[in-house]
């Protein structure tokens, strides 16, 4: 039979001076070691600029595909639009394979940079379509270069932001 005396004055695992202090200290030391590992890993991860440039080249290709269209009532979107998603997924896989890190959650800044890439490319594609309709196809090349630069830079921003999220845990 358990009586009140069994609980009165007894020290549980969370009471000071109990054996639980050793477990708590051990857990804190383990968490500190894991945090240090995350920091070392984040410090070691450099931006894979070649793969960020691959994202930029993909964006430039898509924006440049506007030159092959005929804007107006008979407009048909270029095939490049459908091809960008699978190619982007392959590049993302290469980033993951190259770093060994699986970014489960990118964070607000990285998601914002990716959204900015999408908006910029849509805007540049629209400007390119307008240029083609006005007979200024040469402007598509300029828009493609802008798409390359902006996408490469913002991809690097997103990558660095994801690495910082790894650092913070």
**What is the residue-level pLDDT of the chain in tens, covering all 169 positions?**
455 444 444 444 554 555 567 777 777 666 666 666 666 665 566 778 999 999 999 999 999 999 988 877 777 777 777 889 899 999 989 988 887 766 666 778 888 999 999 999 999 999 999 999 999 999 999 999 999 999 999 999 988 888 887 777 6
Cα separation, 8 vs 30, in Å, equals 33
Cα separation, 34 vs 30, in Å, equals 6
Read off the tokens for 80.
């490049």
Residue 163: Cβ-neighbour burial (10 angstroms; 0-12, 13-18, 19+):
buried
């Amino acid at each position: 039979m358990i009586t009140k005396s069994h609980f009165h004055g007894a020290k549980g695992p969370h009471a000071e001076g109990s054996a639980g202090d050793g477990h708590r200290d051990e857990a804190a030391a383990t968490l500190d070691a894991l945090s240090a590992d995350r920091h070392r890993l984040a410090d070691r991860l450099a931006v894979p600029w070649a793969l960020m440039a691959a994202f930029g080249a993909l964006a430039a290709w898509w924006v440049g595909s506007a030159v092959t269209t005929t804007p107006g009532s008979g407009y048909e979107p270029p095939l490049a639009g459908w091809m960008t998603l699978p190619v982007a997924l392959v590049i993302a896989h290469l980033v993951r394979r190259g770093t060994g890190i699986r970014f489960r959650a990118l964070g607000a800044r990285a998601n914002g940079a990716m959204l900015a890439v999408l908006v910029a490319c849509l805007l540049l594609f629209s400007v390119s379509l307008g240029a083609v309709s006005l007979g200024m196809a040469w402007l598509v090349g300029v828009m493609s270069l802008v798409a390359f630069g902006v996408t490469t830079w913002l991809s690097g921003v997103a990558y660095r932001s994801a690495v910082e999220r790894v650092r913070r845990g």
